Amino acid sequence: MSKRVPIRICMVEDDLKLQALMARWLRQEPELQLVNAYPDAESAVAGIPADRPDVVLMDINLPGQNGIECVAQLKAKLPATQFAMITVYEDEDKILEALKVGATGYLVKQTPRAEVIAAIRELHGGGSPMTPNIARKVVQSFHRSKPAPEASLLSDREQQVMDLLAKGYLYKEISASLGISQGSLHTYIRRVYEKLHVHSRSQAMAKLAKPPAADAPRP
**Domain range enclosing 163:** 145-208
pLDDT at position 164 is 86
Residue 137 above 50 pLDDT? yes
Work out the average pLDDT over 187-194.
85
pLDDT above 70: percentage of residues in the chain: 87
Domain end (from 131, 162, 192): 131
Work out the average pLDDT over 196-219.
62
pLDDT at position 14 is 94
Distance CA 130, CA 123 (A): 10
Domain end (from 106, 131, 156): 131
Regarding whether 121 and 91 lie in a shared domain, the answer is: yes
Regarding whether 151 and 122 lie in a shared domain, the answer is: no
Helical axes 201-208 vs 132-144, angle rounded to 10°: 40
Strand order in the sheet with 103-108: 32-38, 7-12, 55-58, 82-87, 103-108
215 pLDDT tier (thresholds 50, 70, 90): very low
Regarding whether 126 and 26 lie in a shared domain, the answer is: yes
68 pLDDT tier (thresholds 50, 70, 90): very high
Residue 213 above 80 pLDDT? no
Instruction: Name the pTM for this structure.
Output: 0.66
Residue 149 above 60 pLDDT? no
Regarding whether 25 and 90 lie in a shared domain, the answer is: yes
Work out the average pLDDT over 75-88.
90
* CATH number of the domain encompassing residue 195: 1.10.10.10
pLDDT at position 98 is 86
Regarding whether 115 and 19 lie in a shared domain, the answer is: yes
Distance CA 111, CA 176 (A): 34
Domain end (from 105, 131, 157): 131
Average pLDDT, the chain: 83
Work out the average pLDDT over 129-146.
69
Work out the average pLDDT over 187-197.
84
Residue 216 above 50 pLDDT? no
* CATH number of the domain encompassing residue 85: 3.40.50.2300
- Asked, for residue 1, whether it belongs to a domain, the answer is no
Q: 127 vs 72, which has greater pLDDT?
A: 72
Domain count, the chain: 2
Burial class (CB in 10 A: 0-12, 13-18, 19+), 105: buried
